[in-house]
Chains A and B, each alone.
Chain A
Amino acid sequence: MDARLRRVNKEITDCKNDKASNVQIELIDNSPFHLKGTFQGPEDTPYEGGCFDVDIVIPEAYPFQPVKMKFITKVYHPNVSSASGAICLDILKDAWSPVLTLKSTLISLQSLLCSPEPNDPQDAEVAKHYMTSKQSFNDTARYWTHIYAGGPEVSGAVKGSKVTQDDAEQDEIAMAGLEKAHVDQFESLGFPRSKVIEVLRRLNYRGANVAKINEDRVVEELLK
């Protein structure tokens, strides 16, 4: 049997038998070389309670070349692209070793969520947010975990404290990772604020993306 196929099959079986690690690997289509990995957000982080899906592509020369992984679930993290899910992690590039497995790589991703490396960012906007205000970053990350990864509803500090109507709205925008000016801009066209936030968040209307996304496109989405 093809060495690569044997190895991947063995890895999938091993992962199924190992209940302790909380890492799952499933087939996406009929190919054993295109998989979906799933793991839980680590405890005591803004990702706690979330369930994160990772797209896995096994290259031709595996295991002598690193696997290709990217997040399917949207993650608000300095080393993960908020738009594409691309991951910046050394073992997926030059620090790869053939003895690493899909499972150990997914566990490494899990620990990447625990310990972000903002100095080597994949998403500069998110990294900036992390560096300037850890608290606000955590709120946004938790909010994204809730919205995209099925994490618990955001509670505590933000919603529990007595804040004015305006502050609460602003927090809602900040947590979605958006700019108030952008939300105001589309709200002024007569769309309800909540709808604007929802659409802009879905389009990932942030940072460099703002220039790429045509305003007409946003309006089109809003009219749907």
Chain B
Amino acid sequence: MSSDYEYSDDDGDYYDEDELMDQDDQVANHSADSAPSEEEMDIDAFDLPTKGKQKSYHIESTTLSKHDLERAMDENIEYIAGIFGIEPEVASILLRHFEWNKEKLTEKYVDNPTGINAEAGVSAKPNPPRSTTSGSSRSTRRTTPASSRSKKSLSVEGPFVCPICFDDTQTRTLALACSHKFCTECWTAYATNKIRSEGEFKTTCMAEECTLVATDSFIQSVLATDLPTFDRFKELLARHFVSCNRKLKFCPYPECAQTVSCPAAASKFALTTIIPIVNCGDEKHKFCFACPIEDDHRPLICSVSKLWTQKCRDDSETANWIKSNTKECSKCQSTIEKDGGCNHMTCKKCKYEFCWVCMGPWSEHGTAWYSCNRFDEKESVEARDAQSKSRASLERYLHYYNRWANHEQSAKLSMDLYAKTEKKMEEMQLTSALTWIEVQFMKKAVDEVFRCRMTLKWTYAMAYYLQKGNEKELFEDNQRDLEKAVEDLSELLEQPIDTETIGALRQKVTDKTVYVQKRNEIVLEDSAQGYLEGRWKWNTPVEGFD
């Protein structure tokens, strides 16, 4: 990671998202010097046609450690401190107040430094309620608020009674620049409560209506004996910094302290063309930078993936089922499901007798029982049309949903299969001449199947929303080829393994793995290109598309 990486550039982009796109190439250079990931190495080894070229579905990102993040914050602070000639601690409070937007801060601060200082809690509000405790020694405070912001004031006149704990035995007191004195113990308890219970990094003076904010060094001094809480304080500051910066995200995996920078995904507009699946440096910590869906939902963009997951969760499909499988009694409107028997229906509720086929009253059927000859009448034709439309929509959804769910299920099962096979392989190592490295082809194949099934899974969600046409057909051709290849490979993996045939099996599996990998590449690459070219059209309104 190179140190000249400028975080600061982004602040203005809150207001002009399109500008973000210009910065992509700048960052691309930086990740080039990081070690190539395992995935990239594999591809190189198999010598795919995309080798050397930047794949358009691969979104650049860089990883920042805790230390990098702190340095980025410091750079911002030093920048502001340098411009206005103020203490870094003050600059830090100002930046937090402006949510790390340097441009906005600079603009406002130039206009009205006194007002901004008061607003951010750097200096006391003009005419503070208890400014009567004036002393000549503090007269310099206003002019240089930074240097004398927090100071220890030793109590000299008589026993000090802390206005919070009413303890008159306390000798150590502290006050911010506002001179509201409290005992150190109360300060510690107060700051601990703010940080631990409220998760608040901004600790104001305890006095009523005093908005002065404690500096970091003041916090450090009151938490001197409680380092874990001070660390938590620093973590809260870092979290705030990351949340203010649209190019940064914490790795969502538990216990992971890494931050990912993905400038390409920082604007909403960019998300209509890219799917920012990134990782924090650890291959297993893969996540979508822009949305909370846990899967790698390539090749479907975030907004449409969200539509799909919502649809799957909604019970609207239950209503669809009811619509397709039931009818309303034409007299009392009770919902009826026909679960067998003849067409002569008697409503349980109102005892109305009717024909299930034409929905007309049974009495009019005369003697033509059990074979409805009134079938072609206009009214009943219309009723059936409405019903079949609803049924068709349901069937369409189920077609995609079943395949979507099936790939998820199969992916899970292939992991189980792998666990079983691994055991068998270990046994084989002991009984045959094969070495450990020679039986590893299985793992590679299973990993690839898993990855491809994830892709396949989301291609079904994508196909559900794609508008009919040549583009969709081409997409589905690619999908079909990948699916076929994956199913073939899966079948190979299920085959019994024995010492005689393992050589041939190994060859077949390895070949097939390469092929499957290539097909997956094609699907991802083609869909990513499609987004960039604006080739995909949706059959439902999607945010960001016309």
Residues of A within 8 A of B (CB): 3, 6-7, 10, 61, 63-65, 97-100
CB of B193 closer than 8 Å to a CB of A: yes
Are A97 and B208 in contact (CB-based, < 8 A)?
A: yes
CB–CB A99/B189 < 8 A: no
How many angstroms from the CA of A65 to the CA of B206 in the assembled complex?
A: 11
Would you mind naming 20 contact pairs between A and B with Cβ atoms under 8 Å apart? A3-B185, A3-B189, A6-B165, A6-B167, A7-B164, A7-B166, A61-B189, A61-B193, A63-B164, A64-B189, A64-B190, A64-B194, A97-B208, A97-B209, A97-B210, A98-B186, A98-B190, A99-B163, A99-B164, A99-B208
| Interfacial chain A residues near B431, Cβ < 8 Å | none
- Chain A: CB-nearest residue to B189: A64
Chain B at the A interface: SS class:
loop
Identify B197's interface contact among A10, A61, A63, A100, CB under 8 A. Answer: A61
Tell me whether B270 is interfacial, beta carbon within 8 Å. no
CB of B244 within 8 A of chain A? no
B186 neighbours in A (Cβ, 8 Å) = 3, 98
Q: Give the residue name and chain of the B residue nearest to A91 (CB).
A: B208
A65 touches B166 (CB 8 A): no
* Nearest A-chain residue to B192, judged by Cβ: A64
Classify chain B's interface size: 10 to 19
Report the separation of the CA atoms of residues A6 and B209 in the bound assembly, to the nearest whole angstrom: 24
Tell me which residues across on chain B come within 8 A of A3, comparing CB atoms. Answer: 165, 167, 185-186, 189
Contacting residues, chain A, for B164 (C-beta < 8 A): 7, 63, 98-99
Does B207 count as interface, using CB distance less than 8 angstroms?
A: yes
> CB-defined interface of B140-177 with A at 8 Å, one 1/0 digit per residue?
00000000000000000000000111110000000000
Q: Which residues of the partner chain A approach B207 to less than 8 Å between Cβ atoms?
A: 97, 99
Q: Do residues B165 and A97 form an inter-chain contact, with CB atoms below 8 A?
A: no
Q: Which of A6, A7, A99 contacts B206 (CB 8 A)?
A: A99
Considering the complex, which residues of chain B in the window 66-89 have a beta carbon less than 8 Å from any beta carbon of chain A? none
Chain A residues near B190 (CB, 8 Å)? Answer: 64, 98
Q: A6-B166, A98-B164, A98-B190 are in contact. List 17 more A-B contacts (CB 8 A).
A: A3-B186, A3-B189, A6-B165, A6-B167, A7-B164, A7-B166, A10-B166, A61-B189, A64-B193, A64-B194, A97-B207, A97-B209, A97-B210, A99-B164, A99-B206, A99-B208, A100-B208
CB distance A97 to B206 under 8 Å? yes
Contacts of A65 in B (CB 8 A): 193, 197
Query: Quick one: closest A residue to B193, CB to CB?
Result: A64
State in angstroms the CA–CA spacing of A40 and B346 once bound together.
71
Chain A minimum-CB-distance residue to B191: A64
Residue on B nearest A64 in the bound complex, by CB:
B193
| Chain A neighbourhood of B210, CB < 8 A | 97
Give the residues from 51 to 76 in chain B that come closer than 8 angstroms, CB to CB, to chain A. Answer: none
CB distance from A63 to the nearest CB of B (A): 6
**Chain B neighbourhood of A7, CB < 8 A:** 164-166
A11 to chain B, nearest CB (A): 8
Kindly list chain B residues whose C-beta atoms are within 8 Å of the C-beta of A63: 164
Alpha-carbon gap, A3 to B168, bound state (A):
12
- Please name the residue on chain A nearest to B163 by beta carbon: A99
Taking CB atoms, residues of chain B closer than 8 Å to A98 are 164, 186, 190, 206
Identify which of B197, B208, B209 gathers the most chain A CB atoms within 10 Å of its CB.
Answer: B208
**CA A98 to CA B209, docked complex, whole Å:** 11
Please, how many angstroms separate the alpha-carbon atoms of A10 and B163 in the complex? 11
**Contacts of B197 on A, CB cut-off 8 Å?**
61, 65
Q: From B186, which residue of chain A is reached at the shortest CB distance?
A: A98
Contacts of B189 in A (CB 8 A): 3, 61, 64
Which of A6, A64, A65, A100 is most buried by chain B, counting CB atoms within 10 A of its CB? A64
Bound-complex Cα distance A10 to B166 (A): 8
Interface centre among A10, A97, A100, by most chain B C-beta atoms within 10 angstroms, is: A97
C-alpha gap A6/B208 in the complex (Å): 21
**B202-224 interface bits toward A, Cβ cutoff 8 Å, 1 = contact, 0 = none:** 00001111100000000000000
- Distance in Å: Cβ of A165 to nearest Cβ of chain B: 47
Chain A nearest CB from B172 CB (Å) reads 15
Cα distance, A60 to B340, chains bound together (Å): 66
CA distance A3 to B184 in the complex (A): 13
A97 to B208, CA, bound (A): 5
What separation, in Å, do the CA atoms of A69 and B210 have in the docked complex?
23
Shortest C-beta distance, B190 to chain A (Å), equals 5
Q: How far is the CA of A63 from the CA of B207 in the complex (A)?
A: 12
In the assembled complex, how far is the CB of residue A202 from the closest CB belonging to chain B, in whole angstroms?
A: 39
Contacts of A97 in B (CB 8 A): 206-210
B210: nearest residue on chain A (CB-CB)? A97
Q: How far is the CB of B229 from the nearest CB of chain A, in Å? A: 13
CB distance from B198 to the nearest CB of A (A): 9
Chain B contacts for A100, CB-based, 8 A? 208
Most buried by B among A6, A63, A98: A98
- The complex places the Cα of A65 from the Cα of B167 at a distance, in Å, of 19
What is the chain A residue whose CB lies nearest that of B204? A97
